[in-house]
Amino acid sequence: MKNYTKIKDISNLSEIIKDAILLKMNPFEFEDLGKHKTLVMLFFNSSLRTRLSTEKAAKNLGMEVMILNVNDAWNLEFEDGTIMNVDKSEHIKEAARVISQYADIIAVRAFPTLQDKAKDESEYILNNFKKYATVPIVNMESATAHPLQALADAITITELAEKVKPKVVLSWAPHPKALPQAVANSFIEMMQDLEVDLTITHPEGYELNEIITKDTSINYNQDEALKDADFVYVKNWSSYKDYGKVNNQDKNWMMTKAKLGHAKFMHCLPVRRNVVVEDTVLDSQQSVVIKQANNRTYAAQIVLKQILEAL
């Protein structure tokens, strides 16, 4: 693997899932692969799971890890040809090439503005690192995608599925803040490549990018969509049509034990209790969110392993 910025960078999904599960059983099997290699992790935004699981994954492979909260460094300019006489101190052209001298792999977390759709969809931060860095790039959640999360989700469903083609429902939930569409986008793309029966349910007006949803079934009636579900993945996203807006906070979309039925409950975390999902779901045996978060390590580790092998 050359980079992992999108799901399509995975060449063989069933094989990478199988190999991640094997790594989970023997995490130190390749502890010399990353010897004298450094992962630099750049955070433009907060993180708990991505930061710790990716660091753990790199260390399991014997890598050194350096972490930079980019907001503590110089303010970066991403536009070409600008006169940098206001607030930007350093251009991505220099920054990416300098960091590449310290890193064998660069991982980047950079959320969307949720104000400028075209700018967000250009993935200007991630793609400028890809353009100017001279080492592989890993996406730790960008403006439109969270492929490490989606790989962990695919591993979790593969491990826990009790039938060949489980029914998986992605269900929108209310949230007081405007959140990105990235997790939902990548989950949908990943499920389209996995042997599952996928349904999306959300209120009208919360349609995601049609380029991503393609012909996946969308049902505006949550109760109907949830019928006979094996896995229910709950996630809020702000409106894609009315870009970045929170137009609906209908509490009736919160996931409850009654709605969940016998399904397993999934969420990428962090999650707001009794807003997105009620306590009785998260505190039940049906919740697999902690297992999901554990699988973030092995998703990151198999990705780093494949990149190291291709260096």
Out of 40, 191, 225, 268, point to the residue binding ligand CP (CB under 6 A). Answer: 268
**22 assigned binding-site residue:** no
Residues 122 to 181 in contact with ligand CP, rule: CB under 6 A = 141, 149
Interaction between residue 269 and ligand CP (CB under 6 A): yes
Cis peptide bond prior to 176, omega within 30° of 0: no
Which span sits near ligand CP by CB under 6 A: 43-51, 71-79, 232-240, 249-257?
Answer: 43-51
Phi, psi of 199 (to 5 degrees): -130, 140
Nearer to ligand CP, 268 or 277 (CB): 268
Please say whether the beta carbons of 37 and 104 come within 8 A: yes
Query: C-alpha 294: how far from its chain's center?
Result: 14
Out of 37, 49, 167, 175, point to the residue binding ligand CP (CB under 6 A). Answer: 49
CB contact set of 282 (below 8 Å; sequence gap of 6+) = 265, 271, 273, 289
d(C-alpha 23, C-alpha 15), whole Å? 12
d(C-alpha 32, C-alpha 34), whole Å? 6
**273 assigned binding-site residue:** no
Please say whether the beta carbons of 115 and 244 come within 8 A: yes
Quote the least distance from Cβ 293 to ligand CP, whole Å: 7
Quote the least distance from Cβ 301 to ligand CP, whole Å: 16
Nearer to ligand CP, 186 or 213 (CB): 186
**97 assigned binding-site residue:** no
Nearer to ligand CP, 49 or 264 (CB): 49
**74 assigned binding-site residue:** yes
Out of 47, 127, 280, 286, point to the residue binding ligand CP (CB under 6 A). Answer: 47
**134 assigned binding-site residue:** no
C-alpha closest to that of 182 among 212, 159, 152: 212
Quote the least distance from Cβ 52 to ligand CP, whole Å: 8
Nearer to ligand CP, 13 or 269 (CB): 269
Burial class (CB in 10 A: 0-12, 13-18, 19+), 67: middle
**148 assigned binding-site residue:** yes
- Bridge partners (DSSP) of residue 232 are 169, 265
From residue 167, give the alpha-carbon distance in Å to each of 12, 122, 203, 235, 282. Answer: 22, 33, 20, 17, 20
Residues in contact with ligand CP by the rule CB under 6 A: 47-50, 141, 149, 268-270
- Binding site residue list for N(2)-succinyl-L-ornithine: 141, 175, 235, 272
Annotated binding site for carbamoyl phosphate: 47-50, 74, 109, 146-149, 268-269, 296
